[in-house]
Amino acid sequence: MRPGLFNRNLDAKPVNKSGAAGLPRVSGRMEIELFEPSLQLLYAIPAFLLVLTIIVFVHEMGHYLVARWNGIAIQAFSIGFGPEVIGFTDRRGTRWKLSAIPLGGYVRFVGDMNPAGVPDHEAIAAADPELARSLFVNKSVWRRMAVVLAGPVANLIFTFLVLYALLLGYGRYTLPPVIDEVMAGSVAAEAGLAPGDRIVAVDGYRVSGFEDFQRLVATAPERQVTVELERAGAPLTLAMTPAATEITDRFGNTHRVGRIGVTRNVEDTDVTLYHPGPVEAVSLTLEEMRFIVQRTGEFLGDFFVGRGDIEQIGGPVKVARVSGEVATMGVIALINLMALLSLNIGIFNLLPIPMLDGGHLAYYAYEAVRGKPMSQKLQELGFRFGFAIVVSLMVFTLFNDTILEALRRWS
């Protein structure tokens, strides 16, 4: 699964091929085209709310369905936090509602103290025997783990289905992965790349088109990559480290990408629309998801070795802005963004931080190994620690998305 954007070279402007499936890429220099603030706002808010609402609904529905299958009593299913705006109660007693702050959601089980899943031990102790059997806290540790894991898994499944459907429905524009020119003194020249080389794979990811090669290089600034190629029919493997370069897209956003200094001349006859079969599309979609997960992990890992760039970290404000920008590119681009965000939210929720699904899983894993749950005091300390981390991250991303971003654009 690859985007329908193709470069004449790794340093040139991408050519937009409408209707191609894939994820929006950050590589390639685009012409700057600044939208009026009112138009940005017009697109950003509805697009952001639509994308986030769908992703949150999918995530929470994963929790809800597995909980229901395990006979767990559910008090509320909410899209958003804070006061209820509108809602209804179903015949099982579950309150379905839209809440005032549309920045997330939750499934609250009977016996929970709050939407974060902290048990209300007094309410649990006072529950009658029939209700007690349906309380989340009284289910086996494996059932609880399944319920918690279901949210992130639902996000992953949703991402797969969206990308798979787009790939089958629209196909992908592709260009033969053959190098036309290597710039003198460039990273590629020093590594030994030559005109006529046909790229086969990068870091184990197969390269079907030049756009694959372009993206794999662009998303690895200052990180060594292994390039497998064919030269005159003979296999050859080279290692190189793309140079980090800042580019500006047509919306005025800056991105840090990798460049190696090769060109690929594009003729209209070179670009083809490829439609994979149903079986091959499964493989391509899974490979795309693996690529996103790996690059996300590498991006986060860069902060532990001093290579991280805080300008690339974004919170709700940045996501809203990007959603509005992508919405101007069409429905397919917005659906692609939604799939990418769904995958990232699923991964983020698996981090072993109390308050997140991964933190709950860590507690239950401890219980499964030790044969007894972690003490109530330690769990409460963990939730407070997790709350501090999540709030700190939200404050930082808000500061980065607003004040720091304004200073960067002003300078």
What structural domains and CATH numbers belong to the chain?
5-38+161-346 (2.30.42.10)
Averaged pLDDT for residues 360-378: 92
Burial string for 223-250 (b: 16+ CB within 10 Å, else e) reads bebebbbeeeeeeeeeebbbeebebebb
Supply the residues annotated as catalytic: 60
| 323 burial type by CB count under 10 A (0-12 exposed, 13-18 middle, 19+ buried) | buried
Q: How confident is the model at residue 152 (pLDDT cuts 50, 70, 90)?
A: very high
Averaged pLDDT for residues 157-166: 97
Residue 323, pLDDT score? 79
Is pLDDT above 80 for 135?
yes
Q: Are 364 and 278 in contact (CB under 8 A)?
A: no
Select the more confidently predicted residue: 126 or 389: 389
Is pLDDT above 80 for 279?
yes
Residue 4, pLDDT score? 35
Give me the chain's average pLDDT, please: 82
Is pLDDT above 50 for 322?
yes
225-231 sheet: strands from edge to edge: 205-206, 198-202, 225-231, 234-240
Tell me the two tokens of residue 34: 């600044």
Query: Which of these, 69, 74, 114, lies nearest to 90 by C-alpha position?
Result: 74
3-state DSSP call for residue 377? helix
Averaged pLDDT for residues 119-127: 66
Residue 125, pLDDT score? 64
Q: Are 260 and 187 in contact (CB under 8 A)?
A: yes
Is pLDDT above 90 for 335?
yes
Q: Which of 29-43, 120-134, 224-238 has the highest mean pLDDT?
A: 224-238
> Looking up tokens 């494996």, which residue turns up?
142
Residue 47, pLDDT score? 86
Tell me the two tokens of residue 16: 């937009």
Residue 97, pLDDT score? 96
Residue 12, pLDDT score? 35
Residue 269, pLDDT score? 65
Residue 29, pLDDT score? 31
Is pLDDT above 60 for 28?
no
Q: How confident is the model at residue 311 (pLDDT cuts 50, 70, 90)?
A: low
Select the more confidently predicted residue: 327 or 117: 327
Residue 138, pLDDT score? 87
Tell me the two tokens of residue 221: 């600034």
Residue 320, pLDDT score? 76
Is pLDDT above 80 for 11?
no
Averaged pLDDT for residues 56-71: 97
DSSP string computed for 235-288: EEEEEE-PEEEEEE-TTS-EEEEEE--EE----TTT-EEE---HHHHHHHHHHH
Residue 137, pLDDT score? 85
Averaged pLDDT for residues 361-390: 90
Averaged pLDDT for residues 330-350: 92
- Cα separation of the two ends of the chain: 37
Q: How confident is the model at residue 357 (pLDDT cuts 50, 70, 90)?
A: very high
Q: How confident is the model at residue 390 (pLDDT cuts 50, 70, 90)?
A: confident
Q: What percent of the chain stands above pLDDT 90?
A: 49
Dihedral over Cα of 365, 366, 368, 369: its sign: positive
Q: How confident is the model at residue 178 (pLDDT cuts 50, 70, 90)?
A: very high
Residue 324, pLDDT score? 78
Lowest-confidence pick of 85-94, 148-157, 235-244, 318-327: 318-327
pTM of the complete model: 0.80
Is pLDDT above 50 for 7?
no
Averaged pLDDT for residues 265-291: 88
Q: How confident is the model at residue 105 (pLDDT cuts 50, 70, 90)?
A: very high
Residue 234, pLDDT score? 95
